[in-house]
C-alpha cells in the first residue's frame, strides 16, 4: 500500500514538473534599434509552431513555450526578422530593413513568402490606401499597382467603377476580376444595385467596402497565380483581407475625417449676356421676341431686363461637406483575438440635394481551441443610401441634371407663349427640387473557417462564405418637371435581392525533406451558388401628388412591370503543389476542374492547369561576391483560366411574353425568345508570363518587371445570325482576343540619414489588345443608344477593343469651295446666294454649304460615302501608372502621389450640343468666339446649326491623356511621450488634398471617362463632375 502511494506521489510530481515545463512564460519588449521606440504589433512566433502573439502599445509581449530551448521568431513590417533563444526579460531591438522578401502575401487558398512566389502579383497595404483618406476604396487603389487599370464612372458619391487586369479579354462576357473578401468570392454585378434605367450612371455594388477596415489588397495577375480559381480567374483576382485582431493589450482607435469638395473645373459655357448675343446671331426670334397678340408671330422684343438669369453651375453645384468617423477595437490573448470596426459616413455630393450616407460594421474573430484546432469568423455589414436626382442621363442621354447644368438656357422665361419642354426652358433646378429619388444598398459579407492539424505536416481547412445583398430604388418626378410633365407625375420602383455562398474543404500538406527539399501541397473541392431576384414597376397619372412614390396606388396607369429570378451553380476540384529545391529553385503546379450549369450537359466541365518556375539566382555561389545584389529572381509561368460570365440559361431555348392583335384586341401570348445552343462551352484564356525581381543595396532599390501574353479563345459572343432563323442573334463560341504587355515596378529608399527619409514607389504598365478572330464576321458594330450618334465604334478583327469608327473630319467648307449666281458675283449677299459645290470637291451630304463640316475622301475614289469611314480613335491608353514620393523627417510626413494615363482617345459627344447643334442649348465660349462665319472663315468650328449631329467623325475625338496630382498629404505625429500625457498611445493629424491639379488637353469636364459600355469606355456624355477634395484627418489610438 505504501509502495503504491509512493509511486503515485512520484508520478504526480513528474506530471507537475512536466506541466510546469510546458508552461514556461516568456516576457520581453521589442523596440526600434535606432530610436528605442516600442514597436506596436510586432509578431512573436515560436519557431516551427503555430503559437504566437504580438506586442502591445508598449512593445511588450508575453508568450508561453514548451521548452526552455525554444526559438522565438520576431518580425515587424519594414524591419529585419530575427530569431532568438528564449530567456527571461528579453530586450529585443529590431533594425529597419528595406528588403520585403520575408513579407508574407495572400495568394489563392493560402499565403506565401514573397521570396517564394513564382507567379505575378501586386498589392497595397492599409497605410498606402489610407494616404488619400478616400471614402471610395477603388479611388484609393487607382494608380498604385502595375497592370491594374482602375477608372471610376464619375465624381458622383458611390459611382460605378471599372477594373481591368492586363487588358480586356472578352466582348460580351465580363472582364472584371474576381473579388475574394476574407474568403468570400464575389463577382461584380452592377445589376445588384437597383436601377430603373432613368439614369445611365452606375452605382458601385461594392461601395460598402470601407478602406479603413482593410489590412491588405493583393491582385493576382498571371495564370500561375489565378488558375487555382479556374473559371473565375481569367480576368485576375483581387484578394481583400480585413484587419485581424491581436493578442495582448486591447487597442482602441478613432479617426475623424472632415472634407470639403468642389468641382475640379467649371465648364466655360456662355454667360446670360453672351447667350443673348448667341441667340441673336442664330436669329432665334421665338427666344428674343414675344407673341403678345397670339397671332403666331414673335414680333415684340422681349424685355430681358425684367427677367431673371442664372449661371446653372453656380446654382446647382456646391461645396460638398463630408464627415467620416471610424472606430476600432482589437485585442485578445494567446488563444483568441478579435477586431471590431464601425464606420459612419455622411457625404454631400457636388450637386445640391445629392447626398450619400454609409454605415459599416465589421467583426473578425480567431481562436485556437488547442494546438490542433482553430476557428475563425469574419463579417462585414454595410448599409448605404444615395439620394437626389443627380445623374448623367434620363430617358435619353442628355436630359439628366449634369447635362442640363451646361446646356440649359440661362434665362428664366415662363410666359404662356413658350412650350416648357420643346423650347428648352425647363430649369435644371426643377428636376432637382421637385423630384425624389433614393437608392439604398444593404450588404452582408460573412465567412467562417475551421482548421485542424492532423499532424505537424497535414492540416484540414474548411471555409464557408456568404454574400447577401438587398437594394431598392424609389423615384418620383412631379408634373412640374421635364420628366414628369407629360405623364402628369411619374413613379418608378425597383427592388433587387441576391445571395450567394461558397464552401471549400482543403487539405494542406507541408513537409521539409532534409535541408534541400520543401513540399507545400494543397487539394480541395468547392461548391458555389448564386441567386438573383428583382421586381420593377412604373406608374403614371397622379391626380394627387402629395405622397409621390410612397403611394403608387394613386397613379392611374401602370406603365410597365417586370420580375425575374435566376441562379447559377458551380462545382470545383482543385490542387496545387509548391516544391522548393536547395531553397533557390521554385516549382509550382496546379490544376482545377470547374463544372457550371451555364452550359449544356456535354460541356459543363472545364479544366484549367498551370505551371511556374522560379530561380533565386542571387543565392547561387557565383553571385556571392556581388554584394550590391541582395535579390535576383527569375520567374516563368503558364496557365489556363476560364470565363463563364454570361447570362444564365443562354444555351437553352427560352419563351418571351408577346402581345398580338386579334378582333381589335391585344391578346397575351408566348413566343420563342432565343435560339438554343447545347454546344456552348467555356471561354478560355491561356497566359504566358516571364518576370524578374531585382533587389540592390540591401533592398534599398527593388525592381520588378513582367512581360506577358494572354490568348483568349472560344469567345462567348452573342453573335448575329441569319434572319431566316427567326432570330437576330445566338450565343456562340466564336473568335479570339490577344493581350500582351509589359509591367514595371520600382521602389527605392533614396535617402535615409539624420532622421530624414525619402522613398519613391513607381509603376508603369503597357498593354496592347487585339481582336484576332470573330468567326465569319469582320466586325461587330457597337451601338450606344440615347443620342443622335449611336454607331460610333466597332469591335473589328485586327483592332483593339474600344475602337472608334467614323469619318475623318477635314475642316469646314469655305466660300471659295462653291460657285453661285452670276458667275459667283461677290456683290450678292451671303444669305441670298445659291451655293453649288465645285465639281472637283466631293461631298458626303446632299446639300453642302459654306460653314458646314467637311470629310476626307480617304480612299480617293472622288465620292465620300461609308467606304471612307475608318478608325478615328482608341479608348485604351498606351501606358498608365503612378509615382509616389514619401518624405519623413522626425514626426513629420509628406506624401506626393501622381497618377496618369497616356495615349487614349475620348469621343466627346457633348460637342454635338455644346457646339451649336441645338437651337436652345447653351454652347462653350471657344465655339462662340471661333465658329465659322463669312467674316471668320474658321476651319475649327462649323457655323451655327451646321454641325452634323448624326455623323460620327474625328471632329469629336480628342486626346484623353492626363497627368494628375492625385494626392498630397502632410502629416504630423505627436511624440509618444506627449501623447501618453493626454491619455493616448498615439495621435496623428493630416491635411490631404485629392485631385488637386490635372494637366490635360481635353476640353470636356474631366479626362477620366468610363462609359458604361466596356466596348467603348471612352465615350463622354457629360458625366457627374469630379471633385477636388480637401481633408483634415485626426487619428488617435488608446
Q: Tell me: the pLDDT tens digits for 709-767?
A: 999 999 998 888 887 888 888 899 999 999 999 999 999 999 999 999 999 999 999 99
Q: Give the Cα separation of 288 and 982 in Å (integer).
A: 69
The answer to whether residue 1 scores a pLDDT higher than 50 is: no
CATH number for the domain that contains residue 736: 2.40.170.20
Instruction: For residue 559, count other CB atoms closer than 10 A to its CB.
Output: 14
Q: Residue 809: beta bridge partners?
A: 855
pLDDT at 21: 42
- Say whether both 287 and 371 belong to one domain: no
Is pLDDT of 850 > 70? yes
Percent helix, percent strand, percent coil in the chain, to nearest 5:
15, 50, 35
Q: Report if residue 868 sits inside a domain.
A: no
pLDDT at 342 over 90: yes
Split at pLDDT 50, 70, 90, the class of 872 is very high
* 100, pLDDT greater than 70: no
With respect to residue 474, please indicate whether it lies within any of the assigned structural domains.
Answer: yes
Beta bridge partners of 387: 355, 438
Host H or E run for residue 756? strand 756-773
Structural domains in the chain (count): 3
Query: CA nearest 548: which of 454, 497, 616, 475?
Result: 475
pLDDT of residue 224: 82
* CA distances in angstroms from 872 to 805, 940, 952, listed in the order given: 5, 17, 9
Strands (E) in 154-232, as ranges, are: 161-165, 178-181, 184-187, 214-220
pLDDT band at 393 (very low <50, low <70, confident <90, very high): low
Give the pLDDT band of residue 17 (cuts 50, 70, 90).
very low
In whole angstroms, give the CA distance from residue 88 to residue 970.
Answer: 42
pLDDT at 416: 52
Give Cα 807 to chain centroid, integer Å: 32
Q: What is the mean pLDDT of residues 149-173?
A: 88
**Is residue 211 located within the same domain as residue 87?**
no
Q: Tell me, what's the pLDDT at 9?
A: 41
Q: How far apart are CA 191 and CA 498, in angstroms?
A: 10
Indicate the range of 7-21, 296-310, 316-330, 690-704 predicted with least confidence.
7-21
CA-to-CA dists, residue 244 to 372, 696, 772, 889, angstroms = 20, 33, 46, 30
Confidence of residue 412 (pLDDT cuts 50, 70, 90): confident
What's the rounded Cα separation, in Å, for the pair 100 and 97? 8
pLDDT band for position 320 (50/70/90)? very high
Identify the pLDDT of residue 344: 96
Q: Would you state the pLDDT for residue 321? A: 96
**Sheet strands side by side (includes 178-181):** 121-125, 214-220, 237-242, 178-181, 184-187
Q: Residue 570: its pLDDT value, please?
A: 94
Q: How confident is the model at residue 20 (pLDDT cuts 50, 70, 90)?
A: very low
**Range among 57-66, 332-341, 778-787 rated most confident:** 332-341
Answer yes or no: do 359 and 246 share one domain.
yes
Tell me, yes or no, whether 299 and 242 share the same domain: no
In a shared domain, residues 87 and 198: no
- Strands 24-32 and 791-796, bridge-based pairing: unpaired
Residues 148 and 282 in one domain: no
Give the residue with greater pLDDT, 68 vs 463.
Answer: 463
**200 part of a folded domain:** yes
**Higher model confidence: residue 701 or residue 108?**
701
Output the average pLDDT for the chain.
Answer: 88
The answer, yes or no, to whether residue 48 has pLDDT greater than 80, is: no
Tell me whether residue 688 is in a domain. yes
Bridge partners of 527, per DSSP, are: 503, 571
Q: How far is CA 623 from its chain centroid?
A: 42
Average pLDDT value for residue range 454-481:
93
What is the value of pTM for the model shown? 0.88
330 within 8 A of 366, measured Cβ to Cβ:
no
Distance (Å, whole) CA 136 – CA 157: 8
Are 225 and 277 members of one domain?
no
Share of the chain above pLDDT 90, in %: 57
| 477 in Cβ contact with 540 (< 8 Å) | no
- 423 plus 303 within the same structural domain: no
The residue out of 43, 70, 97 marking a domain boundary is 97
The yes-or-no verdict on residue 16 having pLDDT over 60 is no
pLDDT (tens digit per residue) in 957-974: 999 999 999 999 999 999
Cell (9 digits) for 761:
514607389
Instruction: Provide the 3-class DSSP secondary structure of residue 734.
Output: coil
Q: Are residues 765 and 795 in the same domain?
A: yes
Whether 863 is covered by a domain: the verdict is no
Q: Where a domain ends, among 71, 97, 123?
A: 97
Closest by Cα among 1014, 1016, 786 to 907: 1016
Whether 7 is in a domain gets the answer no
Residue 708's DSSP bridge partners are 689, 741
pLDDT in tens, 754-807: 999 999 999 999 999 999 999 888 998 887 776 777 789 999 999 999 999 999
pLDDT at 57 over 90: no
Residue 484, pLDDT above cutoff 80: yes
| CA 286/CA 275 separation, integer angstroms | 14
Q: Write the CA distances from 929 to 265, 271, 547, 568, 811, integer angstroms.
A: 20, 13, 48, 58, 17
Residues 191 and 85 grouped into a single domain: no
pLDDT band of residue 519 (cuts 50, 70, 90) is: very high
Q: Is residue 201 part of a domain?
A: yes
d(CA 38, CA 35) in angstroms, rounded, equals 9
Looking at 63-77, 92-106, 162-176, 473-487, which range is the least confident one? Answer: 92-106
pLDDT of residue 102: 55
Domain contains 5: no
pLDDT digits (tens, 9 = 90+) for 615-664: 999 999 899 889 899 999 999 999 999 899 888 999 998 888 888 877 77
Together in a domain, 302 and 434? no
pLDDT of residue 161: 87
Same domain, 178 and 277: no
Residue 289 lies in domain? 272-310
**CATH code of the domain containing 75:** 2.60.40.1120
| Cα–Cα distance for residue pair 343/355, rounded to 1 Å | 17
DSSP state of 775: T
Residue 798 neighbours by CB distance under 10 Å = 12
Amino acid at each position: 500500500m505504501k509502495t503504491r502511494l509512493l509511486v503515485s506521489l512520484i508520478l504526480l510530481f513528474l506530471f507537475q514538473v512536466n506541466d510546469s515545463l510546458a508552461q514556461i512564460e516568456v516576457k520581453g519588449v521589442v523596440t526600434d534599434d535606432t530610436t528605442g521606440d516600442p514597436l506596436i504589433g510586432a509578431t512573436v512566433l515560436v519557431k516551427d509552431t503555430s503559437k504566437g502573439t504580438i506586442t502591445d502599445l508598449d512593445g511588450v509581449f508575453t508568450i508561453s513555450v514548451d521548452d526552455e530551448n525554444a526559438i522565438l521568431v520576431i518580425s515587424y513590417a519594414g524591419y529585419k526578422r530575427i530569431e532568438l533563444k528564449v530567456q527571461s526579460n528579453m530586450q529585443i531591438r529590431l533594425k529597419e530593413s528595406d528588403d520585403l522578401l520575408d513579407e508574407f502575401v495572400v495568394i489563392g487558398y493560402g499565403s506565401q513568402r514573397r521570396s517564394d512566389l513564382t507567379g505575378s502579383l501586386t498589392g497595397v497595404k492599409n497605410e498606402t490606401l489610407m494616404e488619400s483618406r478616400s471614402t471610395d476604396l477603388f479611388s484609393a487603389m487607382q494608380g498604385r499597382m502595375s497592370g491594374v487599370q482602375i477608372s471610376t464612372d464619375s465624381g458622383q458619391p458611390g459611382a460605378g467603377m471599372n477594373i481591368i487586369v492586363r487588358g480586356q479579354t472578352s466582348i460580351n462576357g465580363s472582364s472584371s476580376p474576381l473579388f475574394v473578401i476574407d474568403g468570400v468570392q464575389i463577382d461584380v454585378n452592377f445589376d445588384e444595385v437597383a436601377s430603373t434605367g432613368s439614369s445611365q450612371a452606375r452605382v458601385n455594388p461594392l461601395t460598402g467596402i470601407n478602406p479603413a477596415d482593410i489590412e491588405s489588397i493583393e491582385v493576382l495577375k498571371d495564370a500561375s497565380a489565378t488558375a487555382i480559381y479556374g473559371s473565375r480567374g481569367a480576368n485576375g483576382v483581387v484578394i481583400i483581407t480585413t484587419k485581424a485582431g491581436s493578442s495582448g493589450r486591447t487597442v482602441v482607435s478613432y479617426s475623424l475625417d472632415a472634407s470639403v469638395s468642389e468641382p475640379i473645373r467649371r465648364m466655360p459655357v456662355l454667360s446670360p449676356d453672351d447667350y443673348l448675343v448667341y441667340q441673336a446671331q442664330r436669329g432665334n426670334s421665338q427666344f428674343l421676341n414675344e407673341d403678345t397678340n397670339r397671332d403666331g408671330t414673335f414680333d415684340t422684343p422681349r424685355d430681358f431686363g425684367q427677367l431673371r438669369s442664372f449661371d446653372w453651375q453656380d446654382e446647382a453645384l456646391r461645396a460638398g461637406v463630408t464627415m467620416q468617423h471610424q472606430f476600432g477595437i482589437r485585442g485578445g490573448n494567446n488563444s483568441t483575438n478579435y477586431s471590431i470596426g464601425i464606420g459612419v459616413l455622411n457625404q454631400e455630393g457636388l450637386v445640391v440635394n445629392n447626398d450619400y450616407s454609409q454605415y459599416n460594421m465589421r467583426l473578425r474573430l480567431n481562436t485556437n481551441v488547442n494546438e490542433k484546432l482553430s476557428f475563425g469568423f469574419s463579417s462585414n455589414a454595410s448599409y448605404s443610401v444615395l439620394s437626389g436626382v443627380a445623374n448623367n442621363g434620363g430617358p435619353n442621354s442628355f436630359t439628366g441634371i449634369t447635362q442640363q447644368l451646361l446646356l440649359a438656357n440661362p434665362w428664366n422665361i415662363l410666359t404662356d407663349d413658350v412650350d416648357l419642354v420643346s423650347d428648352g426652358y425647363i430649369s435644371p433646378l426643377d428636376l432637382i427640387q421637385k423630384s425624389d429619388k433614393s437608392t439604398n444598398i444593404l450588404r452582408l459579407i460573412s465567412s467562417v473557417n475551421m482548421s485542424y492539424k492532423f499532424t505537424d505536416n497535414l492540416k484540414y481547412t474548411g471555409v464557408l462564405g456568404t454574400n447577401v445583398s438587398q437594394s431598392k430604388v424609389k423615384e418620383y418626378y412631379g408634373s412640374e418637371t421635364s420628366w414628369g410633365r407629360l405623364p402628369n407625375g411619374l413613379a418608378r420602383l425597383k427592388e433587387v435581392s441576391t445571395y450567394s455562398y461558397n464552401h471549400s474543404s482543403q487539405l494542406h500538406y507541408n513537409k521539409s525533406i532534409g535541408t534541400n527539399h520543401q513540399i507545400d501541397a494543397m487539394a480541395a473541392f468547392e461548391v458555389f451558388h448564386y441567386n438573383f431576384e428583382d421586381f420593377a414597376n412604373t406608374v403614371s397619372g397622379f391626380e394627387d401628388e402629395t405622397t409621390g412614390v410612397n403611394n403608387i396606388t394613386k397613379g392611374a396607369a401602370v406603365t410597365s412591370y417586370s420580375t425575374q429570378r435566376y441562379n447559377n451553380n458551380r462545382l470545383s476540384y482543385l490542387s496545387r503543389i509548391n516544391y522548393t529545391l536547395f531553397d533557390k529553385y521554385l516549382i509550382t503546379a496546379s490544376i482545377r476542374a470547374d463544372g457550371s450549369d451555364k452550359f449544356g450537359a456535354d460541356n459543363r466541365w472545364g479544366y484549367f492547369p498551370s505551371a511556374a518556375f522560379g530561380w533565386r539566382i542571387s543565392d547561387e555561389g557565383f553571385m556571392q561576391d556581388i554584394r550590391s545584389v541582395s535579390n535576383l529572381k527569375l520567374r516563368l509561368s503558364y496557365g489556363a483560366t476560364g470565363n463563364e460570365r454570361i447570362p444564365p440559361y443562354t444555351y437553352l431555348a427560352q419563351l418571351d411574353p408577346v402581345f398580338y392583335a386579334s378582333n381589335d384586341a391585344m391578346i397575351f401570348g408566348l413566343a420563342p425568345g432565343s435560339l438554343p445552343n447545347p454546344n456552348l462551352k467555356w471561354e478560355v484564356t491561356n497566359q504566358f508570363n516571364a518576370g524578374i525581381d531585382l533587389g540592390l543595396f540591401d533592398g534599398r532599390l527593388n525592381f520588378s518587371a513582367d512581360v506577358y501574353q494572354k490568348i483568349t479563345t472560344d469567345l462567348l459572343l452573342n453573335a448575329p445570325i441569319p434572319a431566316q432563323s427567326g432570330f437576330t442573334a445566338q450565343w456562340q463560341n466564336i473568335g479570339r482576343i490577344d493581350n500582351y504587355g509589359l509591367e514595371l515596378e520600382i521602389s527605392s529608399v533614396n535617402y535615409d540619414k539624420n532622421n530624414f527619409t525619402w522613398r519613391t514607389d513607381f509603376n508603369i504598365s503597357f498593354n496592347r489588345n487585339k481582336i484576332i478572330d470573330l468567326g465569319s464576321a469582320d466586325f461587330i458594330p457597337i451601338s450606344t443608344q440615347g443620342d443622335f450618334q449611336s454607331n460610333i465604334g466597332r469591335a473589328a478583327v485586327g483592332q483593339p477593343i474600344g475602337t472608334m469608327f467614323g469619318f475623318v473630319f477635314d475642316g469646314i467648307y469655305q466660300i471659295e469651295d462653291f460657285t453661285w449666281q452670276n458667275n459667283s458675283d461677290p456683290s450678292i449677299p451671303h444669305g441670298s446666294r445659291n451655293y453649288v459645290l465645285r465639281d472637283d470637291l466631293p461631298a458626303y451630304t446632299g446639300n453642302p454649304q459654306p460653314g458646314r463640316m467637311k470629310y476626307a475622301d480617304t480612299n480617293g475614289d472622288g465620292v465620300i460615302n461609308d467606304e471612307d469611314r475608318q478608325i478615328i480613335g482608341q479608348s485604351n491608353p498606351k501606358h498608365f501608372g503612378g509615382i509616389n514620393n514619401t518624405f519623413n523627417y522626425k514626426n513629420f510626413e509628406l506624401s506626393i502621389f501622381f497618377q496618369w494615363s497616356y495615349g487614349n482617345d475620348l469621343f466627346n459627344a457633348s460637342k454635338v450640343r455644346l457646339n451649336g447643334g441645338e437651337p436652345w442649348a447653351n454652347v462653350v465660349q471657344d465655339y462662340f468666339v471661333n465658329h465659322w462665319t463669312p467674316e471668320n472663315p474658321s476651319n475649327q468650328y462649323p457655323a451655327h446649326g451646321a454641325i452634323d449631329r448624326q455623323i460620327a467623325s474625328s471632329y469629336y475625338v480628342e486626346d484623353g491623356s492626363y497627368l494628375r496630382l492625385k494626392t498630397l498629404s502632410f502629416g504630423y505625429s505627436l511624440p509618444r511621450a506627449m501623447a501618453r500625457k493626454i491619455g493616448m498611445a498615439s495621435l496623428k493629424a493630416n491635411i490631404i488634398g485629392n485631385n488637386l491639379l490635372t494637366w490635360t488637353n481635353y476640353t470636356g469636364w474631366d479626362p477620366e471617362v468610363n462609359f458604361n459600355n466596356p466596348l467603348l469606355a471612352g465615350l463622354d456624355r457629360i458625366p457627374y463632375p469630379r471633385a477636388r477634395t480637401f481633408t483634415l484627418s485626426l487619428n488617435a489610438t488608446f
